[in-house]
Amino acid sequence: MSEPLPAAPAAAGSTAASAAAAAPATAPAVARRGVWRTLRRRALFWVSAAVLAVLGLVALVPSAFAGWFGHPDPRACDLASSAQPPGGGHVLGTDVQGCDVWANVVFGTRASLTVGLLCTAVALAVALVVGTLAGYYGGWLDRVVARLTDVFLGFPFLLGAVVVLTSVGSRSAVSVALVLALFSWPTMARLVRGSVRTVRDAPYVEAARAMGLPDRRIIARYVLPNALGPVLAVATIMVGSVIVAESTLTFLGLGLNAPSISWGLQLSSAQSYFQTSPHMLVAPATVLTVTVLAMITLGDVLRDVLDPRGRS
Amino acid sequence: MTDAAPDSALATTSGPDPAPGSVPGPGPVLEVRDLTVTFRVDDGHAPDVHAVRGVSFDVLPGEVLAVVGESGSGKSVTSLALLGLLGRHATVGGSARLGGAGREPVELIGLERRALQDVRGRRVAMVFQDSAGALDPVFTVGFQLDEMLRRHAPDLTRAQRRERAVELLRLVELPDPAERLRFYPHQFSGGQAQRVMIAMALACDPEVLLADEPTTALDVTVQREVLDVLRRLRERVSTSIVLITHDMGVVADLADRVVVMRGGEVVETAPVRQLFAAPRAAYTRELLAAVPRIGTPDRPSGADGAERPALAFENLVVEYRDRRGRAVRAVDGVTLAVQPGEIVALVGESGSGKSSMGRCALGLAPVTSGSVEVVGTRPGHDTPKAVRAARARIGVVFQNPAASLNPRYSIGESVAEPLRVHAGLRGPELERRTAELLESVELPASWVSRYPHELSGGQLQRVSIARAISLGPDLLIADEPTSALDVSVQATVLELFRQVQQSLGFACLFISHDLAVVDELADRVAVLHQGRLVESGPRARVLGQPEQDYTRRLLAAAPVPDPEAQAARRVAAAC
């Protein structure tokens, strides 16, 4: 049902093709307006895509990056060299256990990205389905969703996650992501519902209904593409907040299990030493910020380019 | 009542005598010279837009100066520029000297913000189109008037302010003004709200009142009420009125002199009678010719006398629930049929139920009782599948073309949509048909890949028509298809509509508030008022010799684009 994103570029591509067939004279003008052609002219797209590609690579093969400065093993810690500032063999210094910060940041990428992206993707998927149905059809489903989201919103997010996680036996990045998604989809669903409702009564949707189009097509081609903008913006921001939420849970001993490595864990262990050794906080905080910024920028650029009005 | 005095005084070309009640002054109240407005687009990445290019005109004491033009002519931008309301992307050049008799002259362009705020409201006031939206819904009208007076006339006492507020409401002819001060904006009708806005604008005796399309959002009978108030106002206050409008009828009714604008330039400036009688500029002539007028000759009806109507309403009742769950009757027992091949116009003011009937035919509004039969099916009785199949034989054109096309679809995709879904066309066949359809509404076939935001209103409405006729419909429902368009564009779209109807021969339910447009197009006319059918019959009979009072009122309320005729109508109405 929800194929809005792929639909837009595909549609643009097909018209470009049809226009080229119908009137070859205008072909260059049409091709200029394609999604990819516009996208590749945006410097911001390349910057954010490159950042995310590097992060993805790091997450896949951390061992290839960890050893660059001579300390490839994040778990080889030397308590004697605890909390050393950057310099010498430890390019980013060491943490309070004497572990190399660089290696930890590199190895933490996988867990953090998994939690952030998976949780957002699951929450977004559920929210899109539920929110769209509630927003488009209204009625009892809408009332149920509204009350349900009220309950979830009134319930402290972390407390809920704590309760569920204590009852979950083995905890991995995937299970943590799913639990976080369980508690974050209602906010998103509410957003989707509101956004869909504003579009639902737009004259072009009414025109589509008057044409006798099936609901599936109206939702997929008329409602969702026009309602997704604000939702995607929030989803990209959510990736960051989920990564931080994972760190809080882990700090409480409820997130990833003890020997795990994640940015969140580093952040939470570093914050108590912030005044004496700020370097322990700076490194994971920076990568987290860069990740979130890259996500947001990419989301922004994509939203802009997928909207015909944003294409030059 | 009418006043004949200004008419005689202002028929002269240069320096008309001040109208009665105005302060006699030597020069103009507002002198605009070489005004230019340039917008920076996209932070300078796109070429600048020159919205106003060297506009000059004078506003004389006590006169009504109409600034007319179509959308994009720069008429609104001009007025906003005078008050410094354009925002930081605009660069304003030239000069605009404000200085009524006995008041300190001031140059408005380039005035610093503090001084400008002092001018706004006190010396130059503005009335906007959407009066209901311009009044704050959570305060009483009395409070809002009081606040205005407190801000601009701080030396008045509380009692004096109240007295002045009552006087102002009396000035715009609201009944029980003292009582009305306690009313909230929602308790006023649209016309009354606009009159309150005018009262508020006049609170500080401004030298110039800028009225930007003050009656455009109103029904004709309500528009009449506001125009009457404005007209009589001139005898009571000295304020000059700059009336920005696209409606030649309003111009003919109210203006003393007219400035015609196009593409950011002044095309012609003339006294109103001279402009209508002998327009000098070619554009003015075009503009006047495009205005639809009542009284087109007879023409053969397209109805083919088949036994089964394309659309039939039988005792139709439509009720909506309001916020408190009470039933509001939008359509109240209407029986009406549209025969194959004929155009039936549904005429009425807002709230008359005309749009609800159109929506009923499309299955977008609930049928409370009675029945609707559309191209042989009855929505609500037959299976949804049959009803949906019938939709393939109905075309729709909505009022706002920019909003009724999916912004994510290219216009080719929009036009192709019914063909793709209902006729199952794909590939080259679909492309061929789409191109044909675009050409049939006089758009280049190469535009298939353009997006709605790249087209003008008139072009978009052509796209809508192409989409509506793509399956060769038996019935077309057009809900105010031209009321969002400029007059010259409206004329061409109506012409196209007529051609298409003649060649395809579909039945058409044409919903409109504009009697002149209806007169040009329809075979039969049905007049609705508050959900009831007032009168219906052949066009020439209903519009020529109306039987019902309401129809007569409706006909009389629409101002005709001819100052002489309009003056005569006023005299007749006064008797």
- pLDDT (tens digit per residue) in B140-158: 999 999 988 888 888 889 9
Q: How far is CA B475 from the centre of its chain?
A: 27
Q: What is the rounded distance in angstroms from the CA atom of residue A224 to the CA atom of residue A196?
A: 7
Asked if B449 contacts B478 with a C-beta cutoff of 8 angstroms, the reply is no
Same domain, B84 and B41: yes
Element (H, E) at B111: none
Q: What is the rounded distance in angstroms from the CA atom of residue A224 to the CA atom of residue A79?
A: 55
Confidence at residue B463, expressed as pLDDT on a 0 to 100 scale: 93
Q: How far apart are the first and last CA of chain B?
A: 8
Last residue of a domain, one of B171, B203, B235: B203
Q: Is residue B405 part of a domain?
A: no
Q: Give me the helices (H) in chain A, please.
A: 4-22, 27-32, 35-39, 43-60, 62-66, 101-137, 139-154, 157-167, 173-200, 203-210, 215-217, 224-251, 263-270, 279-306
The letter for the amino acid at A207 is A
Chain A: closest CA distance from residue B483 (Å) = 15
Top pLDDT among B528 and A85 is at B528
Pick from B437, B449, B477 the residue to mutate for testing the A interface (most A CBs within 10 Å).
B449
Same domain, B354 and B277: no
Cβ of A16 under 8 Å from any chain B Cβ? yes
Confidence at residue B1, expressed as pLDDT on a 0 to 100 scale: 41
Q: Which residues in chain A are contacts of B389 at CB distance < 8 A?
A: 212
Confidence at residue B20, expressed as pLDDT on a 0 to 100 scale: 45
Confidence category of residue B165, pLDDT binned at 50, 70, 90: very high
Q: In chain B, what percentage of residues exceed pLDDT 90?
A: 27
Q: Which residues in chain B are contacts of A16 at CB distance < 8 A?
A: 449
Instruction: Say yes or no for a CB contact (<8 Å) between A212 and B446.
Output: no
Residues A34-67, buried b or exposed e (16+ Cβ, 10 A)?
Answer: bbebbbeebeebeebbebbeebeebbeebeebbe
Q: Which residues in chain A are contacts of B422 at CB distance < 8 A?
A: 211-212
Q: What are phi and psi of B441, to 5 degrees?
A: -105, 20
Q: Is residue A34 part of a domain?
A: no
Q: Is residue B16 part of a domain?
A: yes
User: Which pair of tokens denotes residue B435?
Assistant: 């191109």
Q: Is residue B145 part of a domain?
A: yes
Q: What is the pLDDT of residues B308-356, one digit of tens each?
A: 888 999 989 988 887 777 888 888 889 999 998 899 999 988 888 888 8
Q: Where are the beta strands (DSSP E) in B286-393?
A: 311-321, 327-338, 343-347, 369-374
Q: How far apart are the first and last CA of chain A?
A: 30
Q: What is the rounded distance in angstroms from the CA atom of residue A288 to the CA atom of residue A264?
A: 9
The pLDDT of residue B2 is above 60: no
Confidence category of residue B242, pLDDT binned at 50, 70, 90: very high
Q: Which residues in chain A are contacts of B435 at CB distance < 8 A?
A: 22
The letter for the amino acid at A206 is E
Q: Is residue A17 part of a domain?
A: no
Chain A: closest CA distance from residue B531 (Å) = 22
A to B CB pairs, distance under 8 Å: 108
Q: What is the rounded distance in angstroms from the CA atom of residue A45 to the CA atom of residue A24?
A: 30
User: Which pair of tokens denotes residue A92?
Assistant: 């980013």
Last residue of a domain, one of B152, B187, B203: B203
Q: Which residues in chain A are contacts of B430 at CB distance < 8 A?
A: 18
Q: What is the rounded distance in angstroms from the CA atom of residue B528 to the CA atom of residue B483?
A: 18
The pLDDT of residue A96 is above 80: no
Confidence at residue B59, expressed as pLDDT on a 0 to 100 scale: 93
Instruction: Say yes or no for a CB contact (<8 Å) between A308 and B410.
Output: yes
Q: What is the rounded distance in angstroms from the CA atom of residue B250 to the CA atom of residue B213?
A: 10
Q: Which residues in chain A are contacts of B360 at CB distance < 8 A?
A: none
Instruction: Say yes or no for a CB contact (<8 Å) between B406 and A222.
Output: yes
Confidence category of residue B520, pLDDT binned at 50, 70, 90: confident
Q: What is the rounded distance in angstroms from the CA atom of residue A8 to the CA atom of residue A221?
A: 8
- Judged by DSSP in three states, B329 sits in strand
The letter for the amino acid at B479 is D
Same domain, B138 and B238: no
Asked if B72 contacts B262 with a C-beta cutoff of 8 angstroms, the reply is no
Same domain, B244 and B384: no
User: Which pair of tokens denotes residue B394?
Assistant: 């109905």
Q: What is the rounded distance in angstroms from the CA atom of residue A159 to the CA atom of residue A242?
A: 15
Last residue of a domain, one of B203, B231, B251: B203
Same domain, B93 and B184: no
Of the partner residues A22, A202, A210, the one whose CB lies closest to the CB of residue B362: A210
Asked if A297 contacts A48 with a C-beta cutoff of 8 angstroms, the reply is yes
Q: How far is CA B192 from the centre of its chain?
A: 18
Q: Is residue B478 part of a domain?
A: no
Out of A78-92, A191-205, B19-33, B176-190, least confident range: B19-33
Q: Give me the helices (H) in B41-112, please.
A: 75-82
Q: Is residue B10 part of a domain?
A: yes
| Region of residue A76 (phi > 0: left; psi between -120 and 50: alpha; otherwise: beta) | beta
Confidence category of residue A7, pLDDT binned at 50, 70, 90: very low
User: Which pair of tokens denotes residue B212?
Assistant: 């930007």
Q: Is residue B445 part of a domain?
A: no
The letter for the amino acid at B373 is E
Question: Which of residues 283 through 312 in chain A touch B, CB cutoff 8 A?
Answer: 307-309
Q: Which residues in chain A are contacts of B394 at CB distance < 8 A?
A: 210, 212
Confidence at residue B62, expressed as pLDDT on a 0 to 100 scale: 87
Same domain, B89 and B183: no
Question: Does ipTM surpass 0.95 in this model?
Answer: no
Chain A: closest CA distance from residue B490 (Å) = 20
> Domain range holding B569?
1-123+208-289+548-575
Confidence category of residue B16, pLDDT binned at 50, 70, 90: very low
- Judged by DSSP in three states, B292 sits in coil
Instruction: Say yes or no for a CB contact (<8 Å) between B391 and A309.
Output: no
> B151-158: long-range contacts (C-beta < 8 A, 24 or more apart)?
B151/B121, B152/B121, B152/B122, B152/B203, B152/B204, B153/B203, B153/B204
Q: In chain B, what percentage of residues exceed pLDDT 70?
A: 93
Same domain, B93 and B61: yes
The pLDDT of residue B256 is above 70: yes
| Region of residue B514 (phi > 0: left; psi between -120 and 50: alpha; otherwise: beta) | beta
The pLDDT of residue B514 is above 50: yes
Q: Which residues in chain A are contacts of B451 at CB distance < 8 A?
A: 308-309
Q: What is the rounded distance in angstroms from the CA atom of residue A281 to the CA atom of residue A98?
A: 14
Same domain, B78 and B149: no
The pLDDT of residue B304 is above 70: no
Q: What is the DSSP letter of B120?
A: B
What average pLDDT does the segment B21-38 reach? 76
Instruction: Say yes or no for a CB contact (<8 Å) between B449 and A225.
Output: no
Top pLDDT among A4 and A280 is at A280
Top pLDDT among B70 and B34 is at B34
Confidence category of residue B303, pLDDT binned at 50, 70, 90: low
Asked if B395 contacts B506 with a C-beta cutoff of 8 angstroms, the reply is yes
> B548-556: long-range contacts (C-beta < 8 A, 24 or more apart)?
B551/B527, B553/B221, B554/B220, B554/B221, B554/B347, B554/B349, B554/B515, B554/B527, B555/B294, B555/B515, B556/B224
The pLDDT of residue A256 is above 80: no
What average pLDDT does the segment B554-569 reach? 84
Instruction: Say yes or no for a CB contact (<8 Å) between A12 and B448.
Output: no
Top pLDDT among B85 and A32 is at B85
Top pLDDT among B397 and A98 is at B397
Instruction: Say yes or no for a CB contact (<8 Å) between B418 and A211.
Output: yes
Rounded alpha-carbon distances, angstroms, from residue A298 to A47, A50, A236, B515:
9, 10, 9, 53
Cβ of A213 under 8 Å from any chain B Cβ? yes
Confidence at residue B122, expressed as pLDDT on a 0 to 100 scale: 85
Instruction: Say yes or no for a CB contact (<8 Å) between A19 and B412.
Output: yes
Q: Is residue B252 part of a domain?
A: yes
Same domain, B2 and B117: yes
Confidence category of residue A258, pLDDT binned at 50, 70, 90: low
Same domain, B326 and B225: no
The letter for the amino acid at A77 is C
Q: How many CB atoms sit inside 10 A of residue B534's CB?
A: 20
Q: How many domains does chain A have?
A: 1
Q: Find, in chain B, the residue whose alpha carbon is nearest to that of A31.
A: B449
Same domain, B270 and B335: no
Confidence at residue A26, expressed as pLDDT on a 0 to 100 scale: 38
The pLDDT of residue B292 is above 80: yes
Q: Find, in chain B, the residue whose alpha carbon is nearest to that of A224.
A: B408
The pLDDT of residue A1 is above 70: no
Average pLDDT over all residues of chain B:
85
Instruction: Say yes or no for a CB contact (<8 Å) between B410 and A12.
Output: yes
Same domain, B119 and B150: no
The pLDDT of residue B475 is above 80: yes
User: Which pair of tokens denotes residue A163?
Assistant: 């309760």
Confidence at residue B3, expressed as pLDDT on a 0 to 100 scale: 43
Candidates A68, A207, A27; CA nearest to B415 is A207
Q: How far is CA A55 from the centre of its chain?
A: 13
Q: What is the pLDDT of residues A138-182, one digit of tens each?
A: 888 888 888 888 888 787 777 888 888 888 777 788 888 888 898
Q: What is the pLDDT of residues A195-247, one digit of tens each?
A: 999 999 888 998 998 888 888 999 999 999 899 888 888 888 888 788 878 87
User: Which pair of tokens denotes residue B59?
Assistant: 């506003």
The pLDDT of residue A99 is above 60: yes
Q: Which residues in chain B are contacts of A19 at CB distance < 8 A?
A: 412, 446, 448-449
Q: Is residue B461 part of a domain?
A: no
Confidence at residue A29, expressed as pLDDT on a 0 to 100 scale: 40
* Angle CA B1–B3–B9, to nearest 5: 165
The letter for the amino acid at A33 is R
The pLDDT of residue B432 is above 70: yes
CA-based torsion, A4, A6, A9, A14: positive or negative: negative
Pick from B408, B432, B438 the residue to mutate for testing the A interface (most A CBs within 10 Å).
B408
Instruction: Say yes or no for a CB contact (<8 Å) between A19 and B446.
Output: yes
The pLDDT of residue A15 is above 90: no
What average pLDDT does the segment A71-87 reach? 75
Question: Which of residues 18 through 47 in chain A touch B, CB cutoff 8 A?
Answer: 18-19, 21-23, 25-26, 30, 33
Asked if B486 contacts B69 with a C-beta cutoff of 8 angstroms, the reply is no
Instruction: Say yes or no for a CB contact (<8 Å) between B449 and A15.
Output: yes
Q: Which CATH number covers residue A48?
A: 1.10.3720.10
Instruction: Say yes or no for a CB contact (<8 Å) between B417 and A23.
Output: no
Top pLDDT among B163 and B382 is at B163
> Domain range holding A108?
42-310
Confidence at residue B213, expressed as pLDDT on a 0 to 100 scale: 87
Q: Is residue A32 part of a domain?
A: no
Interface of B with A (CB under 8 A): 362-364, 387-392, 394, 396, 398-400, 403-410, 412-413, 417-418, 421-422, 428, 430-431, 434-435, 445-446, 448-449, 451-453, 464, 467, 477
Q: Is residue A268 part of a domain?
A: yes
The pLDDT of residue A20 is above 60: no
Confidence category of residue B360, pLDDT binned at 50, 70, 90: confident
Q: How many CB atoms sit inside 10 A of residue A309's CB?
A: 12
Quick one: three-class SS letters along B377-403?
ECCCCCCHHHHHHHHCCEEEECCCCCC
Confidence at residue B305, expressed as pLDDT on a 0 to 100 scale: 62
Contacts of B272 (CB under 8 A, 6+ apart): B10, B66, B251, B252, B255, B256, B257, B258, B563
* Angle CA A292–A297–A300, to nearest 5: 125
Q: Which residues in chain B are contacts of A33 at CB distance < 8 A?
A: 449
Q: Which residues in chain B are contacts of A21 at CB distance < 8 A?
A: 428, 431
The letter for the amino acid at B140 is T
What average pLDDT does the segment B246-271 reach? 91
Of the partner residues A12, A23, A226, the one whose CB lies closest to the CB of residue B407: A226
Confidence at residue A312, expressed as pLDDT on a 0 to 100 scale: 53
What average pLDDT does the segment B446-464 reach? 88
Q: What is the rounded distance in angstroms from the CA atom of residue A122 to the CA atom of residue A106?
A: 25
Q: Which CATH number covers residue B329?
A: 3.40.50.300
Q: What is the rounded distance in angstroms from the CA atom of residue A280 to the CA atom of residue A273?
A: 8
Q: How many domains does chain B have?
A: 3
